[in-house]
Amino acid sequence: MSAMEEDTSPQLPHLPPKKSAGKNIGIDYDALDRDIAAQRTVALEQGNLNAALEVLLNLEKQMRLAADVSGTRKVVVAIIQLCFDSNAWKALNDQIVLLSKRRAQLKQAVTAMVQQAMQFIDKAPDLDTRMELIKTLNNVSAGKIYVEIERARLIRKLAKIKEEQGLVGEAAELMQEVAVETFGAMSKTEKIAFILEQVRLCLDRKDYMRAQILSRKINPRVFVIENAKEKKKPKEGDNIVEEAPADIPSLLELKQIYYELMIRYHSHSDDYLEICRCYQAIYDTQSVKDDPSQWIPVLRKICWYLVLSPHESMQISLLNSTLEDKKLSELPKFRTLLKQIVTMEVIIWVSFWENYQNEFEQEAKMPGGPLGDKAAVSLRQRVIEHNILVVSKYYLRITLKRLSELLSLTLQETEEHLSEMVVSKSLIAKVDRPAGIVCFQSNKDSNEVLNSWASNIEKLLDLVEKSCHKIHKETMVHRVTLKVQ
């Protein structure tokens, strides 16, 4: 180069000399900020992005080799920001990959770079650019535990895009690759929200088995414990838990989402008792109890699913606790419905359906949707089972013909319902088909008979002893002498 020619190559900034030999290099961060600002001017005002990137990359190298975390982070973020401000999306992706692969790159710098680039995803000009940036960040963060939370958020964004494109199966598979329950630094609400998103996608895909497995990662008690627990200050050595992003719902909102998803899951198998318990958990939420527009539809659903549930101890317990609820008095028709199921009286199906058919069909217009296609059939079956249990309380033996008349069924239908209840062990009964007699008493073996006799004799002797005591007491009080003949 001649003396008359002007040197137009980018000038590299010079770092201050070492403070002392063998010790860390002292960095002038004010000078560093001025150098970064100067390169922004070169890129944005003079339009020479490549020259500015070359200078900044050399700056990054000096900071990285000096093991200066703060300076390296600052330069890396400046490079990413400069590419974005210059609208150079291809250069942005290239610089992210280049910086992440540099020798002895600092973890803090990679984390800052990924976090900064994630802010640009929603600002991308089109879908292809957004997808390319997400994939680049996803590849950079793969296998790096210090950016596992950022990777999980990236996959969630990518799954959302796939779902919007109608690729629910691909979205579900993407989400299933991430096990957020093992992330120590992720907030609990964000973990729950992520797992619930996994469950929802599995349900949309009709993969009910995997949805059940994923849902078991959430302990329902967390919604109660966390609500009452106070936040404790972290001790030295504890993992610092990040705050959940602003778009993550609160714990109470996540509780409602969780039980709504569980209702969807149990509706697939028509498990009415579990559906009722889910609605009961939603009903117990304070925000729902305070709003009549929310608790009235939920309480209606609780009543219906209690009636639809098979007769067992859990169902009886929930029936009695619901009847004790004072708010049920505001729904008199449903209070009567539950009382009919509890009362040991035969229910006439025709009049029962006339009274409640309108309420049953109105559930389709209420929050939560209709009760299901099989609900009407199941309701009639529960009424029949209730009537059979009532008859078994009052009769030890009854003719099959008379039982059919009480149930308003044919002989064949009566036998079918009796058989189903015996198989499910909700009823003890035997049918003598030639004689046409139903016996509701099981045959006792010799030990049971002897035990019952011994119990009866013991009760008799106890009564005799109490009677003698009362007689002697009266004689002592009134000083009456009994003549023994």
Task: Provide mean pLDDT across the span 68-90.
Answer: 89
Give the separation between CA 195 and CA 190, rounded to whole angstroms: 9
- In angstroms, the CA 366 to CA 353 distance is 20
CA dist., res. 223 & res. 221, Å (int)? 5
3-state SS of the chain: helix, strand, coil percent to 5?
65, 0, 30
Half-sphere exposure of 26 (CA within 13 A, CB side): 6
What pairs with residue 399 in β-bridges?
Answer: 437
Q: How far apart are the first and last CA of the chain?
A: 151
Res 212 pLDDT > 70:
yes
pLDDT value, residue 240: 66
> In the chain, what percentage of residues exceed pLDDT 90?
17
- pLDDT at residue 303, as a whole number: 92
Compute the average pLDDT of residues 125-142. 90
The yes-or-no verdict on residue 4 having pLDDT over 60 is no
Q: What is the dihedral of CA 448, 449, 454, 456, to 10 degrees?
A: 110
Predicted confidence (pLDDT) per residue in 171-209, tens digit: 998 888 888 888 878 888 889 999 999 999 999 999 999
Q: Looking at the predicted structure, is the pLDDT value of residue 412 above 80?
A: yes
Q: Answer yes or no: is pLDDT of 231 > 60.
A: no
Q: Model pTM?
A: 0.78
> For position 225, what pLDDT does the model report?
60
Half-sphere exposure of 358 (CA within 13 A, CB side): 4
Predicted pLDDT of residue 22: 34
| Domain extent listing, the chain | 8-142, 297-394, 455-485
Integer-rounded Cα Rg, in Å, for the chain is 38
pLDDT band, very low/low/confident/very high, at 280 (cuts 50, 70, 90) = very high
- Does residue 226 come out as left (phi exceeding 0), alpha (psi in the -120 to 50 range) or beta? alpha
Mean pLDDT across 50-55:
88
pLDDT given at position 198? 92
> Confidence band (pLDDT; 50, 70, 90) for 6?
very low
pLDDT over threshold 90, residue 279: yes
Q: What is the pLDDT of residues 438-465, one digit of tens each?
A: 888 776 667 777 877 888 888 888 899 9
- In the predicted model, is pLDDT for residue 228 greater than 50? no
Task: Tell me what the pLDDT averaged over the chain comes to.
Answer: 83
Rounded mean pLDDT, 408-428: 87
Q: What is the CATH number of domain 8-142?
A: 1.25.40
The pLDDT, as a whole number, for residue 31 is: 84
For the record, the structure tokens of 249 come out as 């719902």
Give the full edge-to-edge strand order of the sheet including 397-399.
397-399, 437-439, 430-432
Q: What is the mean pLDDT of residues 122-130?
A: 88
> 3-class DSSP state for residue 334?
helix
**CB burial of residue 395 (10 Å; 0-12, 13-18, 19+):** middle
CA-based max dimension of the chain = 154
Query: In the numeric block, which tokens belong to residue 344?
Result: 């040991």
User: Does residue 92 contact residue 51 with C-beta atoms inside 8 Å?
Assistant: no
Task: Identify the bridge partners of residue 430 per DSSP, sorted by sequence position.
Answer: 439
Return the minimum-mean-pLDDT range out of 16-20, 90-94, 311-315. Answer: 16-20
Confidence of residue 229 (pLDDT cuts 50, 70, 90): very low
Compute the CA torsion angle 258, 262, 265, 269 (nearest 10 deg): 180
Per-residue pLDDT for 10 more than 50? no
